[in-house]
Homo-oligomer: A and B are copies of this chain.
Amino acid sequence: MKKKLLNAFIPALIVSIASSAVLANITMDERTIPTPVGISSEMANVIEKRVHPPVMPVPESTEAWLAFQSQFNMAGIELAQKGMDRLGVTYEAKSYAGVDTFFVTPKELSPEYQGKWLIHLHGGAFVFGGGESALREAAWIAGGLGAQVISIDYRKPPLHPFPAALEDTVAVWKELMKTQKPEATAIFGTSAGGNLTLATVLKLQQMGLPTPGAIYAGTPVTDLKLTSDSWYTMKGLDPLGQREGLIQATIDLYADGEGLANPLLSPIYAEIEDFPPTLFLTGTRDLLLSDTVRMHRLLRSADVETLLHVYDGQSHADYMAGLLADVPESDDAIREIGLFFNKHLK
């Protein structure tokens, strides 16, 4: 047995420092991944039964983007309606501060959310997920927490790139602050909605406005400039697909030429001094696992009160499965969000 092998085995990390071989790129072999053992049968059912979509083409004109966007949202609208029926959640479309919004109301309002509205920013790669399809996460949270939610149908590309979405979220925030205290208010969202949640806080700080009492950022994309590790490691395992192609195109469409290192686009590049208490959710099979844990560490480095919950075997935003079925991990996520909001919202 050569000493080099011995060295490399258990203390691989430590030996490496003295090693001279360079292996910047690591090749991972093809593999077959069984259903995770560490998840509920209900979540296993979700994972086993879904279809992984093929790579989809990038629309080549504004018209093609608009048509694609509209088709996309139709599927989400149907799911949102099913979820709202299941959870007994209702909504009203309103123009609020000049912005399209949905005011979402649970069947039963929990005592801690009486007279209080939470703000929701939907996901969908900055381009998709608008209209009533925004109501999927809003309904899941409204029903799960027993809370009233304002879901912002912020303006989106291709017609309204950055910073239109943030202008809308800030406008709604300012309007709501006329009747509600910031420390009593949470903003939340998943994926691009997690990005916008973080970016909205940064924008409010830039403007010298008060910030929310707590936020929940579900598996947020935090680095639009560089491709975080899990985009490579989880490719093909997470049904979200891949960054190359359509998703990168949505990022470019959203940024519209603005430098991607702008923290309002990529919150990971923010200089954090203080920040509201932040809850992060993600999964071990999530393409945005790396984006999420990087942001968690950035906030921790500034001593922000922040919690990270990582669900085993879950791909992008799988914790939201509770919209359409009873899934223990979804109940657990709701419980964590509720505990966090109850602790930090005044």
Contacts and interface: CB of A to CB of B under 8 A. Distances in A.
A226 B312 CA distance: 14
A14 B77 CA distance: 12
Most buried by B among A25, A237, A294: A294
A51 B318 CA distance: 35
A271 interface: no
A229 B285 contact: yes
Contacts of A8: 50-53, 239
A44 to B, nearest CB: 8
A28 B33 contact: yes
A25 B44 CA distance: 11
A290 to B, nearest CB: 5
Contacts of A72: 6, 9-10
Most buried by B among A37, A136, A301, A332: A37
Given A10-B129, A14-B323, A312-B228, A21 B51 contact: yes
A248 interface: no
Contact of A75 (B15, B29, B75): B15
B312 A34 contact: no
Contacts of A61: none
A28 B31 contact: yes
A1 interface: yes
A257 interface: no
Contacts of A294: 38, 312
A50 B297 contact: no
A235 to B, nearest CB: 7
A207 interface: no
Given A17-B324, A37-B228, A53-B9, A75 B293 contact: no
Contacts of A264: none
Contact of A316 (B12, B51, B239, B297): B12
A185 interface: no
Interface stretch (A159-167, A171-179, A197-205, A303-311): A303-311
Contact of A49 (B19, B79, B296, B297): B19
A223 to B, nearest CB: 7
Given A79-B14, A223-B38, A320-B14, A26 B52 contact: yes
Contacts of A119: none
A50 B5 CA distance: 11
Interface in A123-141: 123-125, 128-129, 136
Interface string A193-236: 00000000000000000000000000000010011111011111
A121 to B, nearest CB: 15
B37 A227 contact: yes
Given A16-B51, A125-B10, A284-B293, A34 B27 contact: no
- Name the 9 nearest CB pairs between A and B, nearest first: A16-B50, A12-B239, A36-B229, A8-B53, A37-B226, A38-B294, A293-B310, A7-B75, A13-B318
6 contacts: A13-B239, A22-B48, A28-B237, A37-B229, A284-B289, A297-B311
